[in-house]
Amino acid sequence: MQLIKPPRLLPGDTIGLVTPAGQVSKAAIDKAIANTEALGFQVKLGRHLEEVHGNYAGPWQHRLDDLHGMFGDPDVKAIWTIRGGSGAMQLLPHLDYALMRRHPKILVGYSDITALHVAIHRHAGLVTFHGPVGMSTLSDYSTGHLLDVLMRPEDEYTIPMALDNSRKAFDEPGHEHYALRTVVPGVATGRLTGGNLALVSALAGTPYAADIRDALLFLEEVNEEPYRVDRMLMQLNLNQPFRAAAGIMLGIFEGCGPAGDGPSLTLDETTDQHLRPLAIPAVTGWSFGHIRHQFTLPMGIRARMDTRRQTLTLLEPAVR
């Protein structure tokens, strides 16, 4: 399917706030509004933001209506998910992919929003953006890269890793997983695809699965023990062998170390089992995931990862 790039954001544009997955509090909505306005944009709220249906932000039909409504609203230039959580997969069979192709718009979020990114890329060909959610506590690093990618398209745009993350690895005990590690050195070029490991692995083998062939596969996770990380990586590898990718980037797996006193591999030992045998470049600890200092990854855009320079370079604009 031909790749579709959404129009770039302009100062003062209206951004629609939606909750396609987990429920949100009034405080989270207020924070998302404040973040949007602080970046110089106007806000439009989804009709069903404050609904609660179990742990979801209302029934799937209402969450879907808000998302479709923002795509169809000519005043809304971008769509920002307030949080991830769970439940975005419920929307996939019901998404109006033709609507998204007719009215391409920026869609930003991460974590459970991975399900939307992967499905929309596969069935609509629309470039969406794995980046901060509306309720994120934004840093200068994450804000700068978000706005550069969405507002200032360049033929090549190089993203260095966040120094604050590297400092955390050395200065704060228990945060060694923030360190940049090259598992297999090299330079690789491919389309960007991936997101949250639990979601990417859950979609494997379905009509909404990510296609990792010749791609730069990026994965991140939070609060999963090493044996669970291993299981999810195994599921992905069994469905589409990692060796078919051009390169693999693991972000920061926050809270994914061994729990308790029982026997366990470390997180690094777990991921290295999958990465070291590969003949493709592979890294861990890159600056994306459930962290404050994260860069934005446009799904489907060609990029180059360089393990020596520890940089990711977007090789084409993500917006038009």
Summarize pLDDT for 66-87 with one digit per residue, the tens: 999 999 999 999 999 999 999 9
Query: Residue 155: its pLDDT value, please?
Result: 98
Query: How far is the C-alpha of 197 from the C-alpha of 233, rounded, in Å?
Result: 8
Would you call 290 a catalytic residue per the annotation? yes
Residue type, 82: I
| % of the chain surpassing 90 pLDDT | 98
Q: Phi and psi (nearest 5°) for 187?
A: -120, 135
Is 154 an active-site residue? no
Token digits for 21?
């997955």
Has residue 262 got a pLDDT over 90?
A: no
pLDDT tens digits along 16-52: 999 999 999 999 999 999 999 999 999 999 999 999 9
CA 90 to chain centre: 18
How far apart CA 217 and CA 248 sit, in angstroms, is 5
Q: Which of 111, 136, 142, 201 is catalytic?
A: 111
Residue 23 phi/psi, 5-degree rounding, is -65, 155
Please indicate, yes or no, whether the overall pTM of this predicted structure exceeds 0.75.
Answer: yes
Q: 142 near 136, Cβ under 8 Å? A: yes
Q: Which single residue is written with the structure tokens 């009034």?
A: 26
- How distant, in Å, are the alpha carbons of 152, 236, 310 from that of 144? 11, 32, 18
Is residue 260 very low, low, confident or very high in pLDDT (cuts 50, 70, 90)? confident
Residue 23: both structure tokens together: 């429920």
Give the closest residue to 226 by CA, choosing from 182, 282, 272, 279.
272
Count, in order, helices (H) and strands (E) of the chain: 9, 14
Query: Given pLDDT bands bounded at 50, 70 and 90, which one contains residue 159?
Result: very high
Q: Which two tokens stand for residue 86?
A: 């769970």
- How far is residue 153's CA from residue 148's CA, in Å, rounded to a whole number? 7
Strand 215-220's sheet: what is its strand order? 157-160, 311-314, 302-306, 187-196, 215-220, 247-250, 282-284, 181-184
Closest Cα partner for 185 from 243, 248, 244? 248
Please report the pLDDT score of residue 227 as a whole number: 97
Helix orientation angle between 226-239 and 267-275, rounded to the nearest 10 degrees: 10
Tell me, yes or no, if 53 is annotated catalytic: no
Query: How many residues are there in the chain?
Result: 320
For residue 255, give both structure tokens.
Answer: 């809270």
Catalytic residue among 130, 177, 290, 293: 290
Give 220's strand partners: 196
- Confidence at 261, pLDDT banded by 50, 70, 90: confident
Catalytic residue, chosen from 117, 220, 221, 224, is 220
